[in-house]
Homo-oligomer: A and B are copies of this chain.
């Protein structure tokens, strides 16, 4: 026979019942050591591979996790997808992938289709401004603390604090924040972190501008503003940071000597563009592991994963202000994301 062998083929070759083969291979029933071993050998020799469809039908479990992303083209998500795929595969799960193509209906459609396909759990990075999806299977959200009760997320606010403190330590007091789209919960959190620290400082002056996650919009925003009003640009994403850098360089402004720029996410490109970006790195591997663990019910949702400031070459000590001002503070890198009053300031 040329068909792929079934469990019954293996059974009849050994003159035992199909059930025994099933028990032996799954390790669930009580089968003698010797027989179990022989079954495994025979199955392997015959090239037996279980049909997941049959297992899924009987057990109601498909062994698949659905991953719904807003847009695979955003470079952060492939990295996350890779980590999730890895974590899932380690547990014997496969990854069913869909992106909502940045369309309103796409997300719910994708979720519904995955449910119809019988995924055992869903991991969703929600589209900006969309409602949180519902599904009759465990659903883990990767987003912000606001929805972390349903999943896991980075400490975006803490990241914002790290950035702000870093800039403060470098002596920057007037900061332009490129705050991303107004309806992005993640961007809101990052902005809140920056704001928290800078406002706690008292002396800092904050300019906030919103724009979509496109370098050209960031560039246009920066180009429109009077550069005299700030010495640092804190962008809530590397994409925006690169746009800002380009606009500044085009204007003949040296980065970081005249203006410091920070990003967010540590995309692969952050360390490739010149100057290499100071940015905040999310621990994607940890998020992926947690998300998968939550999806499979091994862990309670609600995790908030710490982020890390990566200092590179797009930030430097603030230049003395045009008005008479003393030397900037030494550039110590804060190790925590906690707000604390700004000390060691220029007098």
Contact = CB atoms under 8 A, between A and B. Distances in A.
Interface of A: 4, 49-54, 56-57, 62-64, 71-73, 75, 77-79, 81-82, 85-86, 89, 94-99, 101, 112-118, 136, 215, 239, 242-243, 246, 249-250, 268-269, 272-274
B117 A94 contact: yes
A107 to B, nearest CB: 13
Nearest to A79: B73
5 tightest Cβ-Cβ pairs between the two chains A and B? A53-B56, A78-B78, A97-B97, A72-B82, A53-B57
B85 A78 contact: no
29 contacts: A4-B136, A49-B115, A50-B116, A51-B57, A53-B53, A53-B56, A53-B62, A57-B57, A64-B117, A72-B79, A72-B81, A73-B79, A75-B78, A77-B78, A82-B99, A85-B98, A85-B99, A94-B96, A94-B98, A94-B114, A94-B117, A95-B96, A95-B98, A96-B97, A215-B272, A242-B272, A249-B274, A250-B274, A269-B273
Contacts of A57: 51, 53-54, 57
Contact of A51 (B73, B96, B118): B118
A71 B269 CA distance: 16
A7 to B, nearest CB: 13
Nearest to A89: B98
Nearest to A80: B72
A139 to B, nearest CB: 16
